[in-house]
Amino acid sequence: MSVSLAKGQSVSLSTADGRTMTPVRIALGWDAVRQGLFGGFRGAHVDMDASAILYDASGSHVDQAWFRQLKSREGAVIHSGDNRTGTGDGDNESIIVHLDRVPPTVAQIVFTINSFTGQSFAQIQNAFCRVVEVDTRTEIARFDLSTTGPHTAEIMAKLSRSEGGWTMTALGEIGNGRTFQDLLPSIAPTL
């Protein structure tokens, strides 16, 4: 059964018997805002990009997976590829994380979404982030964003490693920028 997260809430990524779920898929989705008398879509080609940014325990950025680098260097984090239009129902972009293969030096993985073409979040709706256990296709948790406005990016969620395993925390912090690099200063306080 899926948990609906609010900003700041967390969910464990451990199974009932204490094992870490792996792999998990972090899926992000959004819809263009409908407008006009003829049912046209403003922002029908909204190019939103999901990214995963890996951090060590000191908060230093050590790697990433995004549309220009589809795998982290060691291959534990794999991006599904760039959806340049946002069309279609359900997940628009997803990132697979093999939690058991994430290097021990990585303490957190932050997930962001950016408008590469510069449209604001006023031009999209129904943005969400969800975590799915890949083997069972079970949705573990979902975070629906209700924030619209002039911002062009969101720091959606993070995975954090502790002695007890991995947890997902809903962040929902707004920001601006075309790529995850533009968000790095805004991510630092969320670590």
The ranges assigned to domains in the chain are 3-190
Which comes out higher in pLDDT, residue 99 or 148?
99
- pLDDT of 42 reads 46
Nearest to 103 by CA among 145, 55, 157, 141: 55
Q: For domain 3-190, is the CATH number 2.60.60.30?
A: yes
In one-letter notation, the amino acid at residue 130 is R
d(CA 96, CA 78): 5
Contact 72, 180 (CB under 8 A): no
- pLDDT of 179 reads 93
Contact 131, 140 (CB under 8 A): yes
pLDDT confidence band for 139 (50 / 70 / 90): very high
Write the burial class of residue 23 (CB in 10 Å: 0-12 exposed, 13-18 middle, 19+ buried).
Answer: middle
Nearest to 50 by CA among 33, 22, 70, 74: 70
Contact 23, 98 (CB under 8 A): yes
Chain mean position to CA 135: 19
Q: Mean pLDDT, to the nearest integer, of 99-117?
A: 94
- Antiparallel, parallel or unpaired: β 93-97 and 24-32: antiparallel
Global pTM? Answer: 0.89
Write the burial class of residue 137 (CB in 10 Å: 0-12 exposed, 13-18 middle, 19+ buried).
Answer: exposed
d(CA 11, CA 169): 7
Query: What is residue 41's DSSP assignment?
Result: B
**27-70: per-residue pLDDT in tens?**
988 877 755 555 544 445 677 889 999 999 999 999 999 999 99
Q: What is the DSSP string of 136-185?
A: TTEEEEEEE----SS--EEEEEEEEEETTEEEEEEEEEEE--SSHHHHHH
Side-chain-facing half-sphere of 43: CA atoms under 13 Å: 22
